[in-house]
Chain A
Amino acid sequence: MMVAIFATLFLALLAAWMGRQKIAVACLVLCLALSAGLFLFEIYSPEYGFRMPWIQTRLDGAPPSLARRS
């Protein structure tokens, strides 16, 4: 997959350098689509999915200042 991404990217840059705009943009869009797919594949975990549970985003309990007010 990574080889296909770099191959389409190289073709896109080469076509851009030769002034072939349509071919270049087509190769670049293909490269971006493959890259986005590989990115999602790489960050997906069978255990967590796309979540990142090691980052705490909820408070375990009310902070002391809030607890005192109530």
Chain B
Amino acid sequence: MNGSPRALAGLNYLYMLLMMLTIAAIMTAAMVMQYFGGEVPCPLCLLQRVALFGVCFGIILTFRLGDANLNSGLSLLFSIFLLVISVRQALLDIYPRPGHEYIGSAVFGIHMPVWCVLIALALLIAFAVKLTVLDGASARAIPLSDFPALARAARAAGTYVIILCAINLVSVVVQCGFDACHTSGYRLLQAMH
């Protein structure tokens, strides 16, 4: 793409920041449904969260160390992982039968595994757009610190994502202990009663 490297780098960082904020919003919504709606996540749902955090990992590395193929590659890898998990879960529950049906409430009539298929596709398209339109060798050399406002926002967003991951880690310990996860409740809380 033609354009000044500085403008291209700024657009690229802004684009990545918007992607990370979108993922953070999705994770926040899922956690609100979990803690305030009483919906205990299934093992495959938790793995979908892992995949979304994995996408954020590549973006955080880009913010911290600059844009590189490694970062986009890792984010793409986790986007594909998200797609594989969510498609398999959607197919597992597509034909309701005892022990297999979509769990949790539907959002706008669509259940979480199906939402995750759409989110994974959106992420893959977003990375394709980034790599074709916003990628430039000269723009890559410009660090995020050249854009102070964006750098501050990226720092805040990155910190928020890491806090979300920490909350999820604690939540998984409470839900699963050090054993397999079940949707019947929080294992440690049940053990205390």
Contact = CB atoms under 8 A, between A and B. Distances in A.
Interface residues of A, number: 30
B13 interface: no
B43 A38 contact: yes
Nearest to A45: B92
B47 A55 contact: no
B161 A13 contact: yes
B47 to A, nearest CB: 6
A52 interface: yes
16 contacts: A2-B43, A3-B173, A9-B53, A13-B162, A19-B65, A21-B61, A21-B65, A25-B70, A28-B74, A31-B54, A32-B81, A38-B47, A39-B47, A43-B44, A52-B92, A54-B94
Interface of B: 43-44, 46-47, 50-51, 53-54, 56-57, 60-61, 64-65, 70, 74, 77-78, 81, 84-85, 88, 91-92, 94-95, 97, 158-159, 161-162, 165-166, 168-169, 172-173, 176-178, 180-181
